[in-house]
A and B are shown apart, each in its own frame.
Chain A
Amino acid sequence: MSPKIKNPLPPGNYFFEGNQACAEAAIAAGCRFFAGYPISPSSEIMERLSWRLPEVGGVFIQMEDEIASISAVIGAVWAGARAMTATSGPGLSLMLENIGYAIITETPCVIVDVQRAGPSTGQATRPYDGDIMQVKWGSSGDYQVIALAPWSVQEVYDLTIRAFNLAELYRVPVFVMSDAALAHLREDCRIPEGVDIVGRTKAKGVPHFGTEGPVGVPPMASFGEEEGLIITGSTHDKSGYRKTQDPNIQKDLVDRLNEKVLSNAKEIIQTEEHFLKGAEIVVVAYGLVARAALAAVKEARLGGINVGLLRLKTLWPFPKEEIRALRARRIIVPELNRGQLVREVERVTKVEVVYVNRVDGEVMGPGEILEAIKKQ
């Protein structure tokens, strides 16, 4: 951890909507470059950063599309920036190509995905958990990303900061999974005195694309540091040279890109337990839906039902050990989709898994989760 950097916004309590909290968190986390393209319901992040970044000596640019936005972010990161973009499902679809590039070149960056109802243009201003699988599997090949799911405006702030640190620690794109409702929900947001920032690991003359061990994270130089960086989206050796035919280099690279995240899953994954001890029924939820789930769980417990909540703050890498450890007879997974993360839950547990879904673009209330809890 590097010394605490001065937070440009005075500490205190602010009444922020999710998108504002996200922009301020980025600045507090040392983000000094943002490139983006307008898209509902994420645009307020970009609008705020368009004037806030210049205030703190950062750079803002509105690019010609989302493909260019993520490209500019990656270019800026290699020029030395901590950088971010924000978008929604359809924009994310355009970014996927270069998210793959960020993965193979091990470029730390933060992508805020303010999800909305899809497919395609769908309902641009309605909330949805539509991109849970898109962020994990959308680009080609095998890879791991990190995805964090806040459930409050405060957590949008906290997890955006964490996203920057995780990106640096593992040299990987990190997603903050917000949605149309959280983006525009106004709540108290406490801005602390300062935040811990993970700096970029530098080591002169050391290869930037490989490590001695099979799961390590190499140091990272920036342009202009006389390191003669060779960066490519093709398969490459530790020094960056293209190796497009060598099977061993292909295998070692793909394995390391995956294992550097998976082998650190314990450090990355955060969950929150509510009434889990001895719970016969467990609701597994994330994002804003988890708030409805907690209300439903409390209500059910008043009625004598032994039910608990496991809230996932990290979606990827998937908290499979935490799910596996649940000693319940039934797991309920409410989501604002037809069932995305629930399939991961099913994959890792032998317990009966119940889907609770909402796809009409409305937020989920406690009622429908309570109904599922009560059903015998």
Chain B
Amino acid sequence: MSDLKGQVALITGAGGTLGSSHARAIAARGAHVVIHDIIADAADAVVDDVVRLGGSASPMVCDVTDRQAVKSCVDAVTAEHGAVFILNNNAGITGNNALIKDIDEDFFDRMFDIHVKGAFLVTQEIVDGMKAAGGGRIVNTISGCAHSGAVSGSHYNGAKGAIVGLTRALASEFTPFGITVNAIAPGVTPSGMTRVRLGEEGLAARAKQLVSDRLPTPEEITTGVMFFLAEEAAIVTGRVLNMQQPRKAEVI
């Protein structure tokens, strides 16, 4: 296992269930973790949690769709802690299982702005520092729905598919700079977002569709992120790790 001591990690949307799980794991390996969220209280709570567990963390509060806000935050992080070595573009909103007839222009634009433009802007703001420092690891959080087509909101799935394209384009482009770009595609995982979308009953129903009869824990999804961060994974780039579980034959 690689030691991340002395490295800086930035996780967007880290106030949420999956982002905070990634933050705890990365901090446990010694990195300073910048906990981004648009909600200050959410970021602060995760910072406190990481510090309580003996890790190092600081909050970053901004709207990822606002270039100037992202830039000033990243500049401040770099000045205080050094260049970002690990970036997890994880910020997102739920598609709320919306059908295409019910998705208005505002909802569509918000979906693509936060997921796609957000990942684009944050990556642009950190990549110069990463290149100058000689390398880095970018892991984008997408969704198994982008592969399977499962109904979760086609604007949500389409935005995640755009991030798959971005992942593969940047993997080619950043290879000469020692930067890998990959993505994890979790299946349904109990989280703040999936509870809003599916409810407790819906989550239980999803678990029954799986051969394992259970949904993953956030920590099990974090394992996918940690794989891409391993020193030994330096040649793995442009890949999407699909973490959906096998479904029972009778529900296919």
A binds B: no
Chain B contacts to A: CB under 8 angstroms: none
| A residues lining the B interface (CB < 8 Å) | none
